[in-house]
Structures are given as structure tokens and as C-alpha cells.
Amino acid sequence: MGTPDIAVGPLRALHDAGHVVALVVTAPDARRGRGGALAPTPVKKCALELKIPVSSRVNDVLDAGVELGVVVAFGSLIRADVLEQVPMVNLHFSLLPRWRGAAPVQRAILAGDERTGVCLMALDEGLDTGPVYACVETPILAHETADELRSRLGELGTHLVLERLAGGLTTLGTPLPQVGESVYAAKIDPGELRIDWERSAVELDRLVRIGRAWTRFRGKRLIIERARVGVAGFPAGQGAGPVHQLEDTGAEGLARLGPGSLLGNEVICGQGRLELLEVRPEGRSPVPFEAWRRGARPKVGECLGE
């Protein structure tokens, strides 16, 4: 049971390892892309390729004759009456009980966590509250995006599932209750992705890394695709990119510039500077910041966010 790309790896791995996958349950086809044509989920595409029956109805598992359900990023809660008849395990991308909920990878990055992991847990009717069979821990790398981290966790989780099911249910083991303080990973609200340049460069670097962080430039939306904390103590861009002429602003003029002001390829933040590496102007594809700067020709001190 799964829906997005991250759930394809475990499905294909279980099939290739010789497990009999009797049924795949995934979200219904949805309209995607500019044309609005109906398209299957990534999991459904994989299932059809592997010639596995597919359904969008959870209750169909009750008649599928299965011993175990494997859930990966399914996106919907499964009712207690189904779980009473079909035991299920779930791959969750955090070190439970920290970051239960819909956005564990993004929340771990935003919080500045140094480590995270993936847990194989027994599914119950609560929200990621079931006992845990096993976890694999891994560091969060300094410049790692949410997509990159999620991909790594998906690979770790796939290996974990294969290891625990190598001998079928006999090698799954006995799950243990979660221990520690529970923290909820709420879904990312679109409003959270708007950049507030009053925040520190470190915080904004994390925001950019979870994806789709945006600001405004001359009234139009500008998505910051890639960035990094600027090098303290250097003029804008020095040590991390080209050094740009600061015209006649002077030290006194620079001191008056507030958060959001552009200085070369860096932006002044509430604390520190954020160096911009790649941006996506409204209605266009991502481009290196240097290419955007040459076209937009922002003035020294011109503000983002307006």
C-alpha cells in the first residue's frame, strides 16, 4: 500500500526478492500536468509493469488472501476493522516517536536535527503510534535537501524491509513500544514556505532545503531552489562565488540596508547572509542565480520580498 515515488522501491524490491505481492492498493488516478489528463500514481505504474493487481479500495485487501500488508507513504489512515483482519507494517521516515505525522523529513530539517532515520513499525489505528520492529539511524548531511534525504531513507527502509521479511513472518520479530517524547510532524502549510528575511540565514537555508521556498522580486514570485549560508566576514559573494561591484554604496550605505537587501549574490538576513545559487522565476524553469541576476539586473540593496 503506497502512492508516491518513495514507495516504488520497496514494492519492486519485495517482488524481485520472490515475495508474492497479491495486491497493490494506491490512490486513484488523478489529473496531473498542464493538460489535466488522468494519470496513475508512481506505485500503480510500477504494479502494472510487474503485472500485479491494483486497487484504490483499502477493503480489497480483506479478500486478497494476504498474510501481511506493507505500507509506505500511503497517505490515508487504515481503519481498525481492516487491521484486525490483516496485520500491517509501515515504513516511517523518522526516529519514532519523534516526528510522527505527514512531514517527518521536512520537519527534521527545519528543526536542525543532526540525525534521523527510518523505522519499521506495526500499524495501528493511531497516527504512527504502533510498536517498532527495528530502526536504522543516519546523519542529516549539511546541505542535504528533503528530496535527497527522503531518497536515502527510502533505500535504507527498503533494505530494512527485505532483511526483516527474509524468512517471511518468522523473521519479522516482535515489535517494542515507542520510547521517548512524541513530536508531531504537521504537513507543511504553503504559508510556511514564504521567506521572512528577518529570520537568520541558518533558518532560511533549512527552509530552502525542504523545497519550494519563495520570495518576491519586483512584485513577482521567485522560488529559491538552492542556497547556502554566506561566508561571514567577506564582501558579498567572496569565497563562494564572484565578487560583485558594490557601486558607490559605501560602508555607511551598506550599514543602512535591512533584511532582504541584495548584495551581489547574497541576501542580508536578520542574522547573517544567504548566498543564492539557483532560482526559479515565476512561470519559468530553474536557472543559476548568476544567469538570473544578469537578466534581472537588480540594484545593489534592492529588496527581495516586495
Percent of residues, the chain, with pLDDT higher than 90: 85
Q: What is the pTM of this model?
A: 0.90
Domains of the chain: 5-185 (3.40.50.170), 190-296 (3.10.25.10)
Q: What is the pLDDT of residue 229?
A: 96
Sign of the Cα torsion 186, 190, 192, 193 reads positive
Average pLDDT for 99-112: 97
Q: What is the pLDDT of residue 255?
A: 56
Q: What is the pLDDT of residue 31?
A: 84
Per-residue pLDDT reduced to its tens digit, 238-287: 333 333 444 444 444 555 689 999 999 999 999 999 999 999 999 999 99
pLDDT, greater one: 306 or 166: 166
Q: What is the pLDDT of residue 36?
A: 77
Q: What is the pLDDT of residue 149?
A: 98
Q: What is the pLDDT of residue 77?
A: 85
Percent of residues, the chain, with pLDDT higher than 70: 92
Average pLDDT for 72-80: 92
Per-residue pLDDT reduced to its tens digit, 139-181: 999 999 999 999 999 999 999 999 999 999 999 999 999 999 9
Q: What is the pLDDT of residue 163?
A: 97
Q: What is the pLDDT of residue 254?
A: 53
Q: What is the pLDDT of residue 158?
A: 98
Q: What is the pLDDT of residue 231?
A: 72
Q: What is the pLDDT of residue 12?
A: 98
* Angstrom distance (rounded) from CA 255 to CA 252: 5
Task: Read off the pLDDT band of 101 (50, 70, 90).
Answer: very high
- pLDDT, averaged across the chain: 91
Task: Read off the pLDDT band of 76 (50, 70, 90).
Answer: confident
Average pLDDT for 21-36: 88
Q: What is the pLDDT of residue 257?
A: 85
Average pLDDT for 87-116: 98
Burial class (CB in 10 A: 0-12, 13-18, 19+), 269: buried
Q: What is the pLDDT of residue 180?
A: 96
Average pLDDT for 5-31: 96
At residue 15, what is the residue type? H
Q: Which cell numbers hold the place of 28?
A: 486513484
